[in-house]
Structure 1
């Protein structure tokens, strides 16, 4: 039996041919000729779908529908009627019918609505799995080729597409995708090792990177007379962006891209590089009072507004700008009361820290770790935050202004589960995905090692300081208390190293549809 149906029609005997057709398709069809009988049947039995005539004597179809929804709120009801009046359709749709068919209906129409409302999940799952199986081989072939920066962006988009599609259908192919992502990240790390130093030394020959965002994405818009709102959502991954993008489609036209963040993929380096338009070593050399070294206790991102001002000055930009950092809903709500005041300012910069705070809370709190236990759950919490906090209202307000909105981030994060032992002195930094210090001991196969930091325009606190970056889903663990350390940090989301999730991050332009 494919499914159990209840067909309610005061002329049910005239539908015998349709019922036989459905029975041959392995559906069990129970019939009723009036609303009260249908209601009694739904109280006593379980059905997968109801076909309900709208125009019946006594209790009408709409009245029957309301009572059926009280009995079984999630039961799909398909309204079948001769009445094409718009108000009847509106009432039925407002009562959350699953579909609306106009008489005379043919058997194929009925079969289509059954497939859509009863079997859609398994059909979509099968089609999705077939599509990924076919693309699996193509992606594997691409990984054996020498991809350029744009091809890597496209390949990562495809992997995220399949991750979201398979997750939405409850597919059992997660392990297959996970292994392919691990292979892709291993190949991506080799790509970064080959090209990163050249990118740093030759800005005109590299893909868009953190220090280039203002020069290549924001300044041209200001020159063209557009006003810009830049929203930097700290630690936003591309899959998280895809999860929240649907919430913005009604208000904005969306232009979606990715860019390459610098190393280390950490806020101190990457976000300062965005706002300064410089690599970290250049910031330290040009503005020593605005750069804070790793070993210092002072906050590492307290000078962002000053860095923006210096970048505008270097490029001889005269535009006024505002800068705000938002750490919680209260800060967003307070900003909303002032939003109209920004309308005359050419450039407004907002840093929103929720996702980064969530990532750290997930590591430190057992309850948050359970709530965001998987990649899908982590995306889900991000989506829920966006939908149910004042941040959504912020975007609605911005949609009313004549601005180009640019959403981006400083870096992403990756779920780590492979410990890699590292030994260093007590001055080595605490990040799990990159280390800098003297006399580091590590497995060279697990890392991208940089013995001459100046070649990557990274600060070098001491002459013997080296950097190492974890690749793939590895994280650094000290031999002391090793087992506890590994157990505590396995399956947490970390950043600072080399992976597609950390380095290929969203760069989104939104234009209000009401313009």
Structure 2
């Protein structure tokens, strides 16, 4: 079906050759010499695909015509094609939400390019994306099968996230399926990689040991903190790399990315372990030894993340940074967020302000419990979209905008990511076994060996050992661990929910971004 384009210009006779050119390209062009006739046509035929509109017309001007079109037909794209180069006209047209602005004289290909970008852009992007991924597919396949190193896994994951975001623009379910299979294979290989080297990393036996949760602050954040220059460290709980890439265009309106890094979360990829390790600079087994009253194992009563500020203070003193002025805020609800927003300028007096923001973590847990959120965040695409919507309207973003004109440094990071679980695996344990779906520890755990990374000597992995026979198991890829009791109910309840604690690219390799004010 031909696209219908209205061309409104008081000198329409002079545009006959251009109109003929576009008709030969398959477009139906309906010419008008004034805005009144174009609006009458739209009233009777509101299905126009595009309007090409001159600004300098006698009677009703182009801007007046534009205002009426936008008021009655807000979804119809309008392109100004005019001799008028006045900046105020351009600004008014842009403010009135025109789709493009072309200055006469224009050649036919300029008009064609604008039309294609507007009417065929989505299809062309989809086709190009599919073609480019097909070209890159073999490169990714070769890289995955070439025993990637710690750094190469980061680059591979970045590339996979790039294609995941790009493939969301594609209308090819077949290519989407190919990509999903490739990403699943990547997670299988990454699981083997982590299982092979994890205890060596913890014991620092390898030269390419990655930056991990417990070494992150000392090696990557502390060196950036300068006395007299406010640094805001924002830790958004549960923020995956693809979610960062989704909110990056929003935040870079006000801040400039200086460095984008990634680090490896320790296991389990859960808040109690990874976030406490970040702020204390210690492995969980060391936290338990140093802070026996504050550390709580999974099977013990009490809050698991109540002492982060204390851990951070002690860590700063250990790093001989006790002379810096710092503060720590934890935002767990909207009221806390608004208080932080209202007082954000007060924190400019600090050398370091740490803000822990729990929304993404709450979103993933709420999504499991609330049917409406299961609909809103049913897959990775909608999960990213929901994150963007939250961030755009959050007190956090409003607070950052308030201080964007100050000479500050902003560090955005997280403690771990999440994985959309799809594959159930039966697991049996006694009453002391933890209930987490992506990892468990206890004394008598039975499990499918192919589905988990098991650590029988927790101290080798930097983990507490509550009982002499305690072991940890971590689910691979998209596996989630279910007890046999009422198995089918829990499988159906938790399948396709976002969980954390296990071994996947999404949970383990997470972002660390350093930005400065523009």
TM-score range, shorter chain: over 0.9
The answer (yes or no) to whether the contact 1:281–1:454 under 8 Å persists in 2 is yes
SS where residue 278 of structure 1 aligns? coil
Q: How far 1:244 moved relative to its partner?
A: 0.9
Mapped pair 1:366 → 2:368: no
1:198 alignment counterpart: 200
Deviations 1:9-29 (CA, angstroms, capped at 9, x unpaired): 222222222222111111111
Q: Quick one: distance in 2 between partners of 1:223 and 1:8?
A: 59
After superposition, the C-alpha distances for 1:454-499 in whole angstroms (9 at most, x for unaligned) are 1111101111111110000000011111100101100000000000
Name structure 1 gaps, 5 residues minimum.
none
TM-score, with length taken from structure 2: 0.96
Structure 1 partner of 2:290: 286
> Offset of 1:101 from its aligned partner?
1.9
Distance 1:462 1:128, change over 3 A: same
Output the CA distance in 2 between the equivalents of 1:367 and 1:160: 26
Out of 480, 490, 493, the residue aligned to residue 485 of structure 1 is: 490
Distance of 1:333 and 1:292 partners within structure 2: 31
Distance 1:87 1:309 in 2: 54
Q: Secondary structure at the match of 1:323?
A: strand
Could you list the per-position Cα deviations for residues 113-137 of structure 1 after superposition, in whole angstroms to 9, with x for gaps in the alignment? Answer: 1111111111111111111111111
The CA distance in 1 between the partners of 2:350 and 2:503, in whole Å, is: 37
Counterpart of 1:21? Answer: 21
Given that 1:266 and 1:495 are in contact with CA atoms closer than 8 Å, whether structure 2 keeps it comes out as: yes
**d(CA) in 1 for partners of 2:222, 2:97:** 48
Which residue of 1 is the match for residue 93 of structure 2?
A: 92
Q: Is the 8 A contact 2:215 2:281 kept in 1?
A: yes
Unaligned runs of 5+ in 2: none
Distance 2:376 2:416 in 1: 23
Contact 2:423 2:495 in 1 (8 A): yes
- With 204-213 and 383-392 compared, the bigger mean Cα shift is at 204-213
Higher mean C-alpha displacement, 139-148 vs 165-174 = 165-174
Alignment partner, residue 181 of structure 1? 183
* Structure 1 residues 17 and 220: CA distance shift in structure 2, 3 A: same
Is the contact made by 1:221 and 1:227 (CA closer than 8 Å) also made in structure 2? no
Deviations 1:301-322 (A, max 9, x none): 1111111122122223212321
| Cα root mean square deviation, aligned | 1.5
Distance in structure 2 (CA, Å) of the matches to 1:322 and 1:253 = 24
Residue 199 of structure 1: how far off its partner (Å): 0.6
> Which residue number corresponds to residue 131 of structure 1?
132
Change (3 A) 1:226 1:9: closer
* Cα distance, 1:338 vs structure 2: 2.5
Distance 1:203 1:512, change over 3 A: farther
User: Which residue does the alignment assign to 1:42?
Assistant: 42
Q: Deviations over 1:73-112 (max 9, x none)?
A: 1111111222222222222222222222222222111111
**Is the 8 Å Cα contact of residues 42 and 71 (structure 1) preserved in structure 2?**
no
Q: Give the structure 1 partner of residue 393 of structure 2.
A: 388
Which residue is 1:164 aligned to?
165
Displacement of 1:225 in angstroms is 6.1
Aligned to 1:8: 8
Give the Cα separation in 1 of the matches to 2:226 and 2:410: 16
Find out whether 1:216 has 2:219 as its counterpart. yes
